[in-house]
Chain A
Amino acid sequence: GENVEQHPSTLSVQEGDSAVIKCTYSDSASNYFPWYKQELGKGPQLIIDIRSNVGEKKDQRIAVTLNKTAKHFSLHITETQPEDSAVYFCAASILGNTPLVFGKGTRLSVIA
């Protein structure tokens, strides 16, 4: 079955700097890669996703890149703000076919 590895487990950045979180997956059939943000005391919430037919996707300050050959994908947050502090999860699945498999999460702290 699918296995998703996520690094780093914790990340601290200065406000205004960029943050990058990386994930690798094992199943070459996976074609859907979402990222979720979890704020303290709340359930995870989707922030961006990408399908395997696309190499990069952007939404304002966040972007996701996908390298199908290497089986890894990354979340990039630019101009970080204190409200970006949260736990971020990557996940992978075969769209509409298998459940999401989540990475173990990255705790991002943005220091003002």
Chain B
Amino acid sequence: DAEITQSPRHKITETGRQVTLACHQTWNHNNMFWYRQDLGHGLRLIHYSYGVHDTNKGEVSDGYSVSRSNTEDLPLTLESAASSQTSVYFCASSDPRELGTDTQYFGPGTRLTVL
């Protein structure tokens, strides 16, 4: 079955380290998104991509980067991890070619702790 996966599911790192969170989808969806979820803030958009080599900043993009070299993957990199980036990270994908809908399919999440 087609799916969207995230790895690792849990990560503990130290302040200042570079961290990369992986997101892989097998639906061949054009659109992919990264969100962070924090208590009291809901889901906030970090970066998104509408296709290969396309990337866009979201609401809370500072300190994060993404690259889209193929349809299936959108890795999220924290260039220099900060304690404020401790959060649960969700990846999602969608395909507007599905007529009349923009349903986003979410991965299971990655819980990141920055010490």
Question: Which residues of A does B touch, CB under 8 Å?
Answer: 6, 32, 34, 36, 41-46, 49, 51, 89, 93, 95-96, 99-105
In the complex with contacts A34-B103, A49-B103, A95-B96, A43-B90 CB distance below 8 A:
yes
CB distance from A91 to the nearest CB of B (A): 8
Interchain CB contact under 8 A, A45 and B42: no
Contact A100 B104 (CB under 8 A): yes
Size category, B interface: 20 to 34
Report the Cα distance A99→B108, complex, angstroms: 20
A6 to B92 Cα, complex, angstroms = 21
- Measured CB to CB, the closest approach of chain B to A100, in angstroms, equals 6
Which residues of chain A have C-beta atoms less than 8 A from B108's C-beta? 41-43
* Bound complex: CA A60 to CA B42 (Å): 27
Is A43 touching B107 in the complex (CB atoms < 8 A)? yes
Contact B109 A99, beta carbon cutoff 8 Å: no
Interface string of B10-46 (1 = CB under 8 A from A): 0000000000000000000000010100001111110
Alpha-carbon gap, A41 to B90, bound state (A): 11
- Using Cβ atoms and an 8 Å threshold, which residues of chain B touch A46? 103-104
Instruction: Beyond the given A41-B109, A96-B102, please list 5 additional residue pairs across the A-B interface where CB-CB is below 8 A.
Output: A95-B96, A100-B102, A100-B104, A101-B45, A104-B42
What's the nearest-Cβ distance from chain B to residue A79, in Å?
Answer: 25
For the complex, what is the distance from the CA of A24 to the CA of B109, rounded to whole Å? Answer: 27
- Chain A residues contacting B92 (CB-CB under 8 Å) are 43
- Closest Cβ of chain A to B97, distance in Å, is 9
The 7 closest A-B pairs by CB, nearest first: A43-B106, A104-B42, A96-B96, A102-B43, A105-B42, A46-B103, A44-B106
Minimum Cβ distance to chain B for residue A34 (Å): 7
Indicate if the CB atoms of A89 and B104 lie closer than 8 Å: no
What 1/0 mask marks residues of chain B from 83 to 100 whose CB sits below 8 Å from any chain A CB?
A: 000000010100010001
Question: Is the CB of B8 closer than 8 A to any CB of chain A?
Answer: no
Report the Cα distance A95→B102, complex, angstroms. 7
Contacts of A103 in B (CB 8 A): 42
B33 & A45 in contact (Cβ 8 Å cutoff): no
Least CB distance, A41 to chain B, in whole angstroms: 8
Nearest residue (CB) in A for B35 is A102
